[in-house]
Structure 1
Amino acid sequence: MSRYWSNTLKNIKPYTPGEQPKDRKYIKLNTNENPYPPSPRVIEAIKNAADETLRLYPDPMGEELRETIAGYYRLQGNNVFIGNGSDELLAFTFPAFFEPAGKPILFADVTYSFYPVYAAFFNTNYRLIPVDEEFNIPEEGYYQDNGGIIIVNPNAPSGKGVSGKTIEAILGRNETSVVILDEA
C-alpha cells in the first residue's frame, strides 16, 4: 500500500504519542485526564441520554450542540466549530488559515510536537521561536513577519503560562496575522 502514498506523506516524521501506561494508577495530565470519577449526576445524564436514538447516526453538523454552546457564550451558532477532539480541530486550522509554502508560521521550539507534523503535512513553512532557559516564551520572538502564530498556553511540556498582557501585546503587533491560542 505504501507505494501509493504521496511524497509529502512519505517524508513526514510521524507524531509519536507519549507512553500510555497500562497501570491505571497514574493520572496523565498531558492528556487532560481527570483525577476524579464522573459525578453521579453525569452518570445519570448519560444513562438518560442512551435511549433508542443512540443507534442513529448523529447530526454531522452538530447543530444542537453548536447552538447550545453558542447560547452559553452568547455567540451565533455559525461561530462555533466542533470536532472529534482538539487534534482534529487544530489540523483544520492549517489549510484554513495558513498558505502552503507561504510565509512561515511561528511557534515555540519546545511545545506540542504535533505542530511540525501538521506543518509538513500541509506544506506550511514554519519558524521555531526559542524558549529561554526557564522555558518562557519570549514575546519578542513573535514580532517578525509571519504567516500566522500558534501559542500553546500553558505551553507543553513545561506548563508555563503566557499572561494575558503578553498575548495582547503579541496580538497588537500582529494585527494582520491569524493567531491561534491553543488552550486545550
Structure 2
Amino acid sequence: MTARKPFWETKSLNQMTVPEWESLCDGCGLCCLVRFEDEDTGEIIPTRVHCQLFDEHRCTCKDYANRKKTVPDCIKLTPHNIETLEWMPPSCAYRRLHEGKTLPLWHPLITGDRESVHQAGVSVRDQTVSELSFSDPEDALDFVATDLMYDKSDVDWDPEEP
C-alpha cells in the first residue's frame, strides 16, 4: 500500500483549507518582528523588537483572531499576497512552498512537535523585546537584527537532542 502524501505536497497554497493553511505556520515568530524600510534603498531592516501582541515565550499572537483591531497594520498572510511579502524569512513554510521548496526537517508538520522549531534554534523565543518598551518607535532601530533573516531551513538539528 502506498503511503498518502501530506497535504502540503499535493495541494497548492490556493487549494488548502483554512486549517491546513494555518498549520503551515511553524511558530518561529519572525513575521511578528518590527521592520523598517530604508527610504533610499528599499532594504527591509529587521529588528529584535516584537509586535505588542506577540507572546515572546510561546511565539504566538496573544489575540490572533482580533489582532487587526489592535494592530491595524498587521499583515494577514494569504495565498494571494505571499509572493509580495519579500521580507518573510527564507525558512517560512508559506514562502518555501510558494517557491516550490519543501518544508524544513524541523518544521512541526514534519516532526509532529510544536517545540521542534524552538529546539532547532530557528525561532525568536525569548530573544526579543516588545515595541511597547519604547516611547519613540525609531528606538527599535537600536535592535537591528539582520542575522534573524538568514535562511535557517537547513540548520544542523538533531531531534534526539533536547
Could you tell me the TM-score, scaled by structure 1's length? Answer: 0.25
| Structure number with higher relative contact order (C-alpha < 8 Å, ≥ 6 residues apart) | 2
More helix by share: 1
> Considering only CA atoms, is the larger Rg found in Structure 1 or Structure 2?
1
Could you tell me the TM-score, scaled by structure 2's length? Answer: 0.27
